[in-house]
Amino acid sequence: MSSILLAIITFVAYVLAYKFYCGHLSKKIFKLDPKRPTPAHEFQDGVDFVPTKRHILFGHHFTSIAGAGPIVGPAIAVIWGWLPAFLWVIIGSIFMGAVHDLGALVISARNKGRSIGDVTSELIGPRARKLFLFLIFFALLIVIAVFALVIGVLFMSYPETVLPVWIEMPIAIALGFYIYKRTGSTLIASILALAVMYLFVYIGTFVPVKMPPFIMDSVILSWVVVLMVYAYIASILPVWVLLQPRDYINSHQLFVGLGLLYLGLFVARPEIVAPAVNANPEGAPSMLPFIFITIACGAISGFHSLVSSGTTVKQLDTEKDIPFIGYGSMLGEGVLSVMAILACTAGFATLGEWEMHYASWNSAAGLSAKIGAFVEGGATFMGSIGFSHEIAAALVAVLVISFCATTLDTATRLQRYVVAELADTYKLKPLTGRHPATLIAVGTAFALSMINGGKGGMILWPLFGAVNQLLAGLSLLAITMYLVRIRKPVYYAFIPMIFMLVFSSWAMLINLKGFIEAGNWLLIVFGSGIIVLELWLVLEALLALKITRREGAGGVSGYNMEEVD
C-alpha cells in the first residue's frame, strides 16, 4: 500500500471537512457571532483572561491537546494493522473529535469561561457538576503524574534533547515580553525564536545532558521533582509570559517538523510494509473496543474538552476564531496521528523488521518502543531529504518532548481551575486562590508519583484510556443537552456520544474483569467508582432532559434565552 496515497486522502478529507462540515456547524448549528463578547474581554485580568490573536491561541490550543497522545496511541494501535487505525483517525477526528472540541469551546465561551464540568450545573444539574468535576480531577491527576514520568524517561533515552527543550523556556519568555510589552512583530520574533531553538537542537547532539540521581538515588524521580517545580511555576505565571509564547514556538516547530516529515515521505515514497489488518496479535486485547481507547487524541479525547473550556476559552478574542481553533486544531492533530501511523508502518524497510518490533503486545506497548518507532521512522523519512540520522532523530525527539511538556503544564493549570471550582462548591474559600489551588494540583500528582520511585502514576494508568474516552462521551452528553436547550438538531453530538459511552464502558468492564482476576483491588475500587459516576451522570441527564421537554428551554435556571431562535 502506498503511504503517499494515505497522506493525500488525509489532506483532501480534512480540507473538505473543515470547509463544509465545520462551516455548517459554525453557521447553522452554533451560529457563531463575532459581535458577542467573549470571557477574555469580559473578565480580562492579564493573568488567565487575556484576549489573544487567533494564530497565537491556535498554537497554545494545538500543542496543549496534542502532547504525545497522537503519536503514542497510533504507534501501539498499528499492531492491529494500519487500516483500522487510519480509518478511526480520519472518521473519528472529523465527525467526533472536532465536533467535541468545537462544542466544548462554544459552550464555555457562552457561559463566562466556565469549564465543561462546571457548566453541567445548568445543562444537567448541580449533582452532575460535582460528579463531573471529581472525574476531571481524577483524570488530570493521572495526566500530570504520568507525563512528568514520560518526559523524564524521554530525557534519559535522548539526553541530546535536554538542552534544546529547556532553552525553549527563556526563549519563550523573551518572545512573550517582546510581543506584549513592546508590541513587536509576531512573525519576525517567532521565526528568530524558532531559529535559535533549532540551533540548540544541533548543539544538543554534541552536548547531551544527563540528570544526576540527587533524589533518593533515582534519575527518574529527580526529573519528576524538577518537572513538578516547573509545572507549578508555569501554571501560576500570566499566560502571556510563558504558556502562550512557548506553545506558539512549539506549534511552529510542529509545522516545520511535519513539513519535513511529509516532504521526506513524498521524496522516499515508501510502501507500507505492515499488514492492513492483523486481527489477533500475540497477547493483545481484542481490537474492539480497544482500538477506540488506544487511539484517543488523534481521533477524540476527553482531555481536549478540558483544554477548550479551561485555558483556551479564557484567551478567545472573538467567536469567529472558534472554528479555526476548535475544529481546525483537531484536524491538525489528525494529520500528526496519520504521520505516526505512516512512520510506524512505512518507516520499516521490510515486513520482517516491522514484525520484530511488533512481535507481541508487550513488545509494542512499552514506552521506549512507542516513541522509538515514531522517532526512528520519522528520522528515516527525513534522511531521504539529506538529514543525518542523528540530527533527524534529535529533531523528532525534541518535537515529542516539547509537546509532552505543554501537556504537563497545561494540565496543571487546568487542575488548578478544577480545585478552585471544587473549593468554591464546598465553601473552602482559602483553597480557591491561585497558589493554594496550584499547590494541591502539583502536590497530589507528586504524591502519586513518589510511589515506586517516580512511576506511581503508572499504577492508575491502566484506567486512564477508558476514563479519558468516557470523559469525551460525557462532554458530548453536555453538548447534546446544550443543543436540546437551543432547539437545534442533536444528532451531531448525540451519535458520537452514544458511540463513545458504549465503547469506553465496554473497555472499562473488560478492564475490571482483568483487575478482578488479578486481585488488584486498588484498580477494582477506582474502576467501579468511575462506572458508577458514569451511570449517575447519564441518569441525571435523562432527568434533566425530561424537565427540559416539560418546561421548555426557558424553564431551566441560568439558561440564556438569547441562544434560542
CB 227 within 8 A of CB 148: yes
Secondary structure of residue 316 in the 3-state scheme? strand
CB 504 within 8 A of CB 533: no
Read off φ and ψ for residue 123, nearest 5 degrees.
Answer: -75, -35
Q: How many of the other CB atoms lie within 10 Å of CB of 532?
A: 11
Beta bridge partners of 271: 2
SS (H, E, C) 217-239: CEHHHHHHHHHHHHHHHHHHCCC
Q: Is 456 part of any domain?
A: no
Q: Give the DSSP letter of residue 350.
A: S
The total of other beta-carbon atoms located within 10 Å of residue 223's CB is 23
Nearest to 99 by CA among 341, 301, 390: 301
In the chain, count of helices (H) and strands (E)? 25, 0
Residue type, 292: F
User: What single letter denotes the amino acid at residue 134?
Assistant: F
Closest by CA position to 461, among listed 475, 473, 445? 445
Q: Per the structure block, which three cell numbers stand in for 7?
A: 497522506
> What pLDDT is stored for residue 483 in this prediction?
95
Q: How is residue 29 annotated by DSSP? A: I
C-alpha to C-alpha distance for 529 and 83, rounded to whole angstroms: 35
Q: Is residue 334 part of a domain?
A: yes
Q: How far is CA 561 from CA 27, 425, 485, 556, in A?
A: 18, 26, 9, 10
Query: What CATH number is attached to the domain comprising 331?
Result: 1.20.1740.10
Q: Rounded to whole angstroms, what are the CA distances from 153 to 70, 97, 371, 483?
A: 18, 29, 11, 43
In a domain, 457, yes or no: no
Quick check: is 76 in a domain?
A: yes
* pLDDT at residue number 183: 66
Distance in angstroms (rounded) separating the CA atoms of residues 336 and 301: 15
Q: What is the total count of domains within the chain?
A: 1
Range of the domain at 434: 3-450+462-563
How far is residue 90's CA from residue 87's CA, in Å, rounded to a whole number? Answer: 5
> pLDDT in tens for each of the 565 residues of the chain?
899 999 999 999 999 999 999 999 999 999 999 999 999 999 999 889 999 999 889 988 998 898 778 888 898 899 999 999 999 999 999 999 999 999 999 999 999 999 998 998 888 888 888 888 888 999 899 989 988 988 998 899 889 999 999 999 999 999 888 887 766 677 788 888 989 999 999 999 999 999 999 888 889 899 999 999 999 999 999 988 988 888 888 888 888 988 999 999 999 999 999 999 998 898 889 999 999 999 998 999 999 999 999 999 999 999 999 999 999 999 999 999 999 999 889 988 789 989 888 888 877 666 556 677 788 888 888 988 999 988 998 898 898 888 888 889 999 999 999 999 999 989 999 999 999 999 999 999 999 988 877 778 777 877 888 889 999 999 999 999 999 989 999 999 999 999 999 999 999 999 999 999 999 898 899 889 888 888 888 888 888 888 777 765 443 333 443 444 4
- Distance from the Cα of residue 383 to its chain's centroid: 29
- Does residue 481 sit within a domain? yes
Q: What is the pLDDT of residue 565?
A: 42
CB-based contacts of 447, cutoff 8 Å, min separation 6: 456
Cβ pair 137, 555 in contact under 8 A: no
* E strands, 351-494, in order: none
Residue 455 covered by a domain: no
SS3 2: strand
Cα 84 from Cα 278, distance rounded (Å): 9
